[in-house]
Structure 1
Amino acid sequence: MTRTRNPADPLLTLRHAVAEASRTLARDGLVTRTQGNVSARQDQLVAITPGGASLGELRAGQVTIVDLDGKPVAGRLEPSSELPLHLALYRDHEIGAVVHTHSPAATAVACVVEGELPCIHYEMALLGGSVRVAPYRRFGSAELAEVASAALRDRRAALLANHGAIAVGATLEEAAATARMLEWLCQVFLLASAAGSPRALDAQALAEVRSEFARRGYVS
């Protein structure tokens, strides 16, 4: 359903932000065609990319608005099939945006690594530490939403086994930046694995990194 809006309409602003983030992620190669989805929350409403739309060409008018129960508020297209996943993350975590990708390196790692991607680089401290790999569950299912939410406990990113990756943040910018970092980390892991056995940083090293990041104001 649709309604008349003016340029100051906060829902229109939110829809524009989701559409722009989708196009940017497509240009960066993190989402392709219809593979992936993006959402942002404002109070009790969520703007999410529609199912079946080309993310690289997405426009604000195609973005759907729903409430936290998934009830349609605005938009003429069906929301992404991963709406249950996005809504679960907003209910379970204090976040403002979700980026779900099928980016090549992250998806490849999600197809081979079990349990977690170890801390092979100190910048993983910005994500909360090692990146958990949620067990495989069918796309669009409540079961996938459940295991993904658990994998994101105290983390900003997770991998979904044989599926892709999920990144969250207080804003769309933060969530997108986290998705880019995760893709880079997975590329590094794949290259390191081809050369040998990647070394993981120990708990003391990560604690020192977190302390230094906090001193420099990189994290709160």
Structure 2
Amino acid sequence: MTQDAIERAWDALVGTARRTVTDGLVVGTSGNVSARVGDLVLVTPSGVPYDRLTPADTVAVDLDGTQVRGRLAPTSELPMHLEIYRRTTARAVVHTHAVHATAASTLVTELPPIHYMAAALGGPVRVAPYALYGTPDLAAHMMRALDDRTGCLLRNHGTVTYGDTLDQAYDRTAQLEWMCRVWLTATSAPGHTPSLLSPAELHEAATKLSGYGQPH
């Protein structure tokens, strides 16, 4: 893997991490972002404001978690990121503490299918049981919630999504937070129960979404 490729990937990763702050998905240094480049995983460091990161701060580990680049310690959520890379085809992972998603995670074991964009994450979004951050238990709970999904909620914690690119992983996070906000807003109307989509309707949406966008 060339130094240029690593530098480009780091710049994109830092840009995505800063975007999570700008868009209100995290506060301070909460949340983290990673990208796989060959056999390396670039990841945001622990406890460092994203606006202070420079190319000299590049942090990289191998798939076993051994740090191979950088002087800063990697995020404490590294076990979660690595488990996704080991067990899926992910090239990027975004973890946030988004307000509405975190609130929703305390109320349900699965986000009710309030909108067809749930199909873009593989189906109804599950909530992984609570476990202490940075632990193998949390990573294991998360992976069960991610079975056949590209995003999930972490109880009393936040969101995790992954994708083929940083942009895709980020967009999935933003969509998940938006769906949680819609559901919380709908359920707050006194005397009303929001309508939900059926499995057949979600499947229909998934089929149509698979061809969405411009042809390549």
TM-score, L = length of structure 1: 0.91
Alignment of 1:15-54 (within 5 A): 15-54=10-49
Report the Cα distance in structure 2 between the residues aligned to 1:154 and 1:99, rounded to whole angstroms.
Answer: 17
Opposite residue 170 of structure 1, the aligned amino acid is D
**Equivalent residue, structure 1, for 2:195:** 199
* Residue among 184, 188, 191 paired with 2:178: 184
Confirm or deny that 1:117 pairs with 2:111. Answer: yes
Which deviates the most, 102-111 or 50-59?
A: 50-59
C-alpha deviations, 1:107-152, integer Å up to 9, x for none?
A: 1111222x21021111211111110000000000000011111111
CA distance in structure 1 between the aligned counterparts of 2:106 and 2:171, rounded to whole angstroms: 23
The CA deviation string for residues 163-198 of structure 1, in whole angstroms up to 9 with x for no partner, is: 111011111000000011011111101101101323
Q: TM-score, normalised by structure 2?
A: 0.92
SS at match of 2:196: coil
Bigger drift between 156-165 and 206-215 goes to 206-215
Q: Contact conserved, 2:57 with 2:70, CA < 8 A, in 1?
A: yes
Asked if the contact 1:106/1:164 (under 8 Å) is kept, the reply is: yes
Aligned to 1:158: 152
1:209 to 199, 205, 212: 205
Could you tell me which of 87, 106, 109 is aligned with 2:101? 106
Shift of 1:32: 1.8
Q: Is the 8 A contact 1:31 1:55 kept in 2?
A: no
Q: CA deviation at 1:96?
A: 0.4
Q: Look up the equivalent residue of 1:54 and give its one-letter code.
A: P
Q: Distance in 2 between matches of 1:197 and 1:56?
A: 42
Quote how far apart the aligned CAs of 1:156 are.
1.3
Following superposition of structure 1 onto structure 2, how do residues 55-204 of structure 1 map, counting pairs within 5 Å?
55-113=50-108, 115-195=109-189, 196-204=192-200
Q: Secondary structure at the match of 2:42?
A: strand
Percent same amino acid among aligned pairs?
A: 44
| Structure 2 residues without counterparts, runs of 5 or longer | none
Contact 1:48/1:80 (CA < 8 Å) preserved in 2? yes
The letter for the 1-side match of 2:110 is: E
Structure 2 equivalent of residue 3 of structure 1: none
Q: Is the 8 A contact 1:32 1:55 kept in 2?
A: no
Please report how far the alpha carbon of residue 61 of structure 1 lies from its aligned counterpart in structure 2 after TM superposition.
Answer: 2.8
